[in-house]
Chains A and B, each alone.
Chain A
Amino acid sequence: SQKIEQNSEALNIQEGKTATLTCNYTNYSPAYLQWYRQDPGRGPVFLLLIRENEKEKRKERLKVTFDTTLKQSLFHITASQPADSATYLCALDLYNQGGKLIFGQGTELSVKP
Protein backbone atom coordinates (compact mmCIF):
# COMPACT_ATOMS: atom_id res chain seq x y z
CA SER A 1 0.00 0.00 0.00
CA GLN A 2 1.04 3.61 -0.44
CA LYS A 3 2.20 5.43 2.66
CA ILE A 4 3.87 8.67 3.63
CA GLU A 5 5.10 8.87 7.21
CA GLN A 6 6.85 11.51 9.26
CA ASN A 7 9.15 10.25 11.94
CA SER A 8 7.29 11.31 15.01
CA GLU A 9 4.28 13.24 16.06
CA ALA A 10 6.29 15.51 18.33
CA LEU A 11 9.90 16.61 18.64
CA ASN A 12 11.25 18.66 21.54
CA ILE A 13 14.66 20.33 21.30
CA GLN A 14 16.66 23.03 23.02
CA GLU A 15 17.11 26.45 21.45
CA GLY A 16 20.24 26.66 19.33
CA LYS A 17 20.28 22.96 18.46
CA THR A 18 19.56 21.51 15.03
CA ALA A 19 16.14 19.97 14.51
CA THR A 20 15.97 17.06 12.08
CA LEU A 21 12.61 15.86 10.80
CA THR A 22 12.14 12.75 8.66
CA CYS A 23 9.70 11.96 5.91
CA ASN A 24 9.53 8.43 4.49
CA TYR A 25 7.31 7.15 1.72
CA THR A 26 6.51 3.80 0.14
CA ASN A 27 5.04 2.89 -3.22
CA TYR A 28 5.13 6.43 -4.54
CA SER A 29 7.36 7.93 -7.21
CA PRO A 30 7.27 11.65 -6.55
CA ALA A 31 8.56 14.17 -9.02
CA TYR A 32 8.98 16.70 -6.24
CA LEU A 33 8.84 16.81 -2.48
CA GLN A 34 7.74 19.89 -0.57
CA TRP A 35 7.93 21.00 3.04
CA TYR A 36 5.37 23.27 4.71
CA ARG A 37 5.01 24.86 8.12
CA GLN A 38 1.61 25.02 9.82
CA ASP A 39 0.81 27.05 12.92
CA PRO A 40 -2.29 26.22 15.01
CA GLY A 41 -5.49 27.37 13.36
CA ARG A 42 -3.69 28.56 10.23
CA GLY A 43 -3.11 27.23 6.73
CA PRO A 44 0.24 25.70 5.77
CA VAL A 45 3.02 27.97 4.55
CA PHE A 46 5.42 26.78 1.86
CA LEU A 47 9.06 26.45 2.90
CA LEU A 48 11.09 24.44 0.41
CA LEU A 49 10.69 22.30 -2.69
CA ILE A 50 13.19 19.72 -3.90
CA ARG A 51 13.15 17.86 -7.21
CA GLU A 52 13.76 14.15 -7.61
CA ASN A 53 17.12 14.77 -9.26
CA GLU A 54 18.31 17.10 -6.51
CA LYS A 55 20.10 15.81 -3.42
CA GLU A 56 19.98 18.89 -1.27
CA LYS A 57 18.39 22.33 -1.10
CA ARG A 58 19.10 25.14 1.34
CA LYS A 59 17.35 28.33 2.35
CA GLU A 60 18.78 30.36 5.20
CA ARG A 61 18.67 28.09 8.29
CA LEU A 62 16.71 25.38 6.47
CA LYS A 63 18.10 22.40 4.60
CA VAL A 64 16.27 19.61 2.83
CA THR A 65 17.71 16.39 1.46
CA PHE A 66 16.00 13.94 -0.84
CA ASP A 67 17.11 10.33 -1.31
CA THR A 68 14.93 8.57 -3.89
CA THR A 69 16.73 5.27 -3.26
CA LEU A 70 15.90 5.30 0.43
CA LYS A 71 12.57 7.03 -0.34
CA GLN A 72 13.31 9.55 2.34
CA SER A 73 13.60 13.29 2.86
CA LEU A 74 15.26 14.95 5.82
CA PHE A 75 14.39 18.49 6.90
CA HIS A 76 16.89 20.35 9.08
CA ILE A 77 16.51 23.60 10.99
CA THR A 78 19.87 24.83 12.27
CA ALA A 79 20.29 27.20 15.22
CA SER A 80 16.67 26.59 16.13
CA GLN A 81 14.63 29.28 17.86
CA PRO A 82 11.41 29.17 19.89
CA ALA A 83 9.73 30.91 16.93
CA ASP A 84 10.42 27.78 14.87
CA SER A 85 7.92 25.89 17.03
CA ALA A 86 5.14 24.67 14.71
CA THR A 87 3.95 21.59 12.86
CA TYR A 88 5.99 20.71 9.79
CA LEU A 89 4.40 18.81 6.93
CA CYS A 90 6.06 17.02 4.06
CA ALA A 91 4.14 16.56 0.84
CA LEU A 92 4.68 14.48 -2.28
CA ASP A 93 4.00 15.95 -5.69
CA LEU A 94 3.41 13.04 -8.04
CA TYR A 95 3.80 12.82 -11.78
CA ASN A 96 0.71 13.36 -13.89
CA GLN A 97 -1.60 14.00 -10.95
CA GLY A 98 -2.62 17.51 -11.88
CA GLY A 99 -0.40 19.03 -9.24
CA LYS A 100 -2.17 17.61 -6.22
CA LEU A 101 -0.13 16.95 -3.08
CA ILE A 102 -0.12 13.96 -0.74
CA PHE A 103 0.64 15.14 2.80
CA GLY A 104 2.30 13.36 5.69
CA GLN A 105 0.70 13.59 9.11
CA GLY A 106 3.13 16.24 10.29
CA THR A 107 5.70 16.56 13.07
CA GLU A 108 5.03 19.03 15.87
CA LEU A 109 8.30 20.75 16.74
CA SER A 110 8.74 22.49 20.07
CA VAL A 111 11.90 24.55 20.64
CA LYS A 112 12.49 25.36 24.29
CA PRO A 113 14.45 28.48 25.34
Chain B
Amino acid sequence: GAVVSQHPSWVICKSGTSVKIECRSLDFQATTMFWYRQFPKQSLMLMATSNEGSKATYEQGVEKDKFLINHASLTLSTLTVTSAHPEDSSFYICSARATGGVGNQPQHFGDGTRLSIL
Protein backbone atom coordinates (compact mmCIF):
# COMPACT_ATOMS: atom_id res chain seq x y z
CA GLY B 1 0.00 0.00 0.00
CA ALA B 2 0.85 3.74 0.09
CA VAL B 3 2.05 4.06 -3.49
CA VAL B 4 2.85 7.43 -5.02
CA SER B 5 3.18 7.64 -8.78
CA GLN B 6 5.10 10.47 -10.40
CA HIS B 7 5.02 11.21 -14.10
CA PRO B 8 6.97 11.71 -16.27
CA SER B 9 10.11 10.10 -14.92
CA TRP B 10 12.37 11.88 -17.39
CA VAL B 11 12.03 15.05 -19.44
CA ILE B 12 14.40 16.76 -21.84
CA CYS B 13 13.23 20.01 -23.38
CA LYS B 14 14.37 23.30 -24.79
CA SER B 15 14.91 26.43 -22.78
CA GLY B 16 11.74 28.49 -22.46
CA THR B 17 9.41 25.48 -22.40
CA SER B 18 6.98 24.91 -19.55
CA VAL B 19 6.98 21.44 -18.04
CA LYS B 20 4.23 19.83 -15.96
CA ILE B 21 4.95 17.05 -13.49
CA GLU B 22 2.15 14.97 -11.95
CA CYS B 23 2.12 13.34 -8.54
CA ARG B 24 -0.63 10.84 -7.71
CA SER B 25 -1.38 8.89 -4.58
CA LEU B 26 -2.71 5.60 -5.96
CA ASP B 27 -4.21 3.82 -2.97
CA PHE B 28 -4.75 6.53 -0.38
CA GLN B 29 -6.00 10.08 -0.09
CA ALA B 30 -3.52 12.86 0.59
CA THR B 31 -4.64 16.25 1.82
CA THR B 32 -1.04 17.37 1.76
CA MET B 33 1.66 16.70 -0.78
CA PHE B 34 5.20 18.02 -0.82
CA TRP B 35 7.51 18.95 -3.67
CA TYR B 36 11.28 18.60 -3.34
CA ARG B 37 14.27 19.32 -5.49
CA GLN B 38 17.50 17.35 -5.29
CA PHE B 39 20.85 18.13 -6.89
CA PRO B 40 23.48 15.39 -7.38
CA LYS B 41 25.03 14.18 -4.12
CA GLN B 42 22.85 16.55 -2.13
CA SER B 43 19.86 16.08 0.08
CA LEU B 44 16.24 16.82 -0.64
CA MET B 45 15.31 20.48 -0.41
CA LEU B 46 11.66 21.22 0.21
CA MET B 47 10.25 23.60 -2.36
CA ALA B 48 6.61 23.82 -1.34
CA THR B 49 3.77 22.21 0.54
CA SER B 50 0.71 21.53 -1.57
CA ASN B 51 -2.68 21.52 0.15
CA GLU B 52 -5.79 20.18 -1.52
CA GLY B 53 -8.20 22.95 -2.38
CA SER B 54 -5.98 25.82 -1.28
CA LYS B 55 -2.85 27.68 -2.28
CA ALA B 56 0.51 26.04 -1.89
CA THR B 57 2.96 27.23 0.75
CA TYR B 58 6.37 27.95 -0.72
CA GLU B 59 9.69 27.77 1.10
CA GLN B 60 11.85 30.84 1.30
CA GLY B 61 13.68 31.54 -1.93
CA VAL B 62 11.35 29.49 -4.14
CA GLU B 63 9.60 31.54 -6.81
CA LYS B 64 5.91 30.76 -6.76
CA ASP B 65 5.40 32.22 -10.23
CA LYS B 66 8.15 29.99 -11.56
CA PHE B 67 6.98 26.79 -9.91
CA LEU B 68 3.20 26.61 -10.14
CA ILE B 69 1.51 24.06 -7.93
CA ASN B 70 -2.04 22.82 -8.23
CA HIS B 71 -3.64 20.32 -5.86
CA ALA B 72 -7.10 19.90 -7.29
CA SER B 73 -8.03 16.58 -5.70
CA LEU B 74 -7.08 14.36 -2.79
CA THR B 75 -5.00 12.17 -5.07
CA LEU B 76 -3.33 14.55 -7.50
CA SER B 77 -0.90 17.44 -7.27
CA THR B 78 0.93 18.99 -10.21
CA LEU B 79 4.09 21.07 -10.42
CA THR B 80 4.59 23.22 -13.51
CA VAL B 81 8.02 24.66 -14.14
CA THR B 82 7.26 27.70 -16.25
CA SER B 83 9.65 28.99 -18.90
CA ALA B 84 12.29 26.52 -17.80
CA HIS B 85 15.97 27.36 -18.14
CA PRO B 86 19.10 25.21 -17.80
CA GLU B 87 19.50 26.19 -14.15
CA ASP B 88 16.12 24.55 -13.46
CA SER B 89 17.58 21.19 -14.47
CA SER B 90 17.34 18.93 -11.44
CA PHE B 91 15.66 15.88 -9.91
CA TYR B 92 12.17 16.79 -8.70
CA ILE B 93 10.47 14.49 -6.20
CA CYS B 94 7.00 14.60 -4.71
CA SER B 95 5.70 12.99 -1.57
CA ALA B 96 2.32 12.51 0.05
CA ARG B 97 1.03 11.95 3.52
CA ALA B 98 -2.20 10.07 4.15
CA THR B 99 -5.13 12.24 5.19
CA GLY B 100 -5.57 12.36 8.94
CA GLY B 101 -1.95 11.77 9.77
CA VAL B 102 0.66 14.38 10.56
CA GLY B 103 3.73 13.70 12.60
CA ASN B 104 3.01 10.09 13.23
CA GLN B 105 2.81 9.24 9.56
CA PRO B 106 5.71 8.88 7.16
CA GLN B 107 5.80 10.57 3.80
CA HIS B 108 5.49 8.32 0.75
CA PHE B 109 7.64 9.40 -2.16
CA GLY B 110 7.31 9.16 -5.88
CA ASP B 111 10.28 8.00 -7.93
CA GLY B 112 11.15 11.47 -9.08
CA THR B 113 11.35 13.33 -12.38
CA ARG B 114 14.70 14.00 -13.97
CA LEU B 115 14.36 17.36 -15.74
CA SER B 116 17.02 18.42 -18.24
CA ILE B 117 16.71 21.80 -19.94
CA LEU B 118 18.89 22.33 -23.00
Interface band, chain A: 20 to 34
Q: Which of A1-50 contact B (CB under 8 A)?
A: 9, 31-32, 34, 36, 41-46, 49
Residues B106 and A34 in contact, CB atoms below 8 Å apart: yes
Residues B107 and A46 in contact, CB atoms below 8 Å apart: yes
B88 interfacial by beta-carbon distance below 8 Å: no
A99 interfacial by beta-carbon distance below 8 Å: yes
Type the 1/0 row for B28-42, where 1 means its CB is closer than 8 Å to any CB of A: 000010100000011
Type the 1/0 row for A40-79, where 1 means its CB is closer than 8 Å to any CB of B: 0111111001010000000000000000000000000000
Residues B106 and A42 in contact, CB atoms below 8 Å apart: no
Q: Which of B95-112 contact A (CB under 8 A)?
A: 95, 97, 101-112
Q: A103 to B95: give the CA distance in the assembly, Å.
A: 13
A97 to chain B, nearest CB (A): 9
> How many A-B contacts at CB < 8 Å in the complex?
63
Indicate which residue in A89, A99, A100 contacts B43 across the interface (CB closer than 8 Å): A89
B75 interfacial by beta-carbon distance below 8 Å: no
With an 8 Å Cβ cutoff, the count of chain B residues facing the other chain is 29
Nearest to B51 among chain A residues (CB) is A98
Indicate which residue in B49, B101, B105, B111 contacts A43 across the interface (CB closer than 8 Å): B111
Q: A3 to B32: give the CA distance in the assembly, Å.
A: 25
Q: A49 to B102: give the CA distance in the assembly, Å.
A: 12
In addition to A89-B44, A99-B32, 5 A-B residue pairs with Cβ atoms within 8 Å of each other are: A31-B103, A44-B44, A44-B95, A99-B101, A99-B105
Mark B residues whose CB is within 8 Å of A: 4, 6, 32, 34, 41-46, 49, 57, 91, 93, 95, 97, 101-112, 114
